[in-house]
Every structure is written in C-alpha cells, then in structure tokens.
Amino acid sequence: MSSDADIEIFVASTCAMSTLLAWITAMVGTLGPPLHGGGQVHIYWSSSGPIVVTAGVEEGRCTSVWFHTDTSPWATPLECAHQAAQDLGCWVEAGV
C-alpha cells in the first residue's frame, strides 16, 4: 500500500528486539544489516526504504520504529500501530 507520509510507531520496551525485528521483516521483507546511527539508533534497509529503529525513547519506555518511506503496508500510523499491537501482543502507540 502506498501512504502519503512516513509512519512512526512506538512499541513497549517489554517487546523483545528480536521479536520486533522479525515482525518488521514479516511486514516489509528482508532487512539489510543494521547501520549504527548513534546511541541506540539503528538504520535497516528494506525493499521499501530505510527503517529507523531507536531503543530507549520516551524515558526508556518504548522503541521507536520509523518507516521512512511512502510505500509501506499501511496508509496511516494508526493502521500500523493496530496491526503491530495485534501481531506482537504488546502496547503500541501511533506517532503523529
């Protein structure tokens, strides 16, 4: 699906990073090796564009996942957050 803007969600830190990365891969396809963006920021390349994963945001409560592309599987951040919460079984919030 094509979206008009980048999509960002915030996933509870209680969700294991390996589980989160497996979900991202299931949604957008194979991820390239992570590039270290500084601190706890990692940039992964996918066929739909870069995905920025930042652990420890919101005072350590969340991991930010930013789909930096206009061709994601969702039209809105809310759609992405709903699917992530359902698939991951943890708290997820849509970015604005």
Determine the average pLDDT of the residues in 42-63: 92
Q: What is the pLDDT of residue 27?
A: 94
Say yes or no to pLDDT of 2 above 80. Answer: no
Q: How many domains does the chain have?
A: 1
Q: Output DSSP code: residue 70.
A: S
What's the rounded Cα separation, in Å, for the pair 21 and 24? 5
What pTM does this model have? 0.90
- Supply the pLDDT for residue 69: 85
In a domain, 2, yes or no: no
Averaged pLDDT of the chain: 90
Alpha-carbon gap, residue 67 to 51, rounded angstroms: 5
Tell me how far apart the alpha carbons of residues 71 and 61 are, in angstroms, rounded to a whole number: 28
- The answer to whether 50 and 37 are in contact (CB under 8 A) is no
Query: Is 90 exceeded by the pLDDT of residue 89?
Result: yes
In a domain, 19, yes or no: yes
Per the domain annotation, does 1 fall within a domain? no
In the chain, the percentage of residues whose pLDDT exceeds 90 is 72
67 assigned to some structural domain: yes
Range of the domain at 15: 7-94
CB 30 within 8 A of CB 51: no
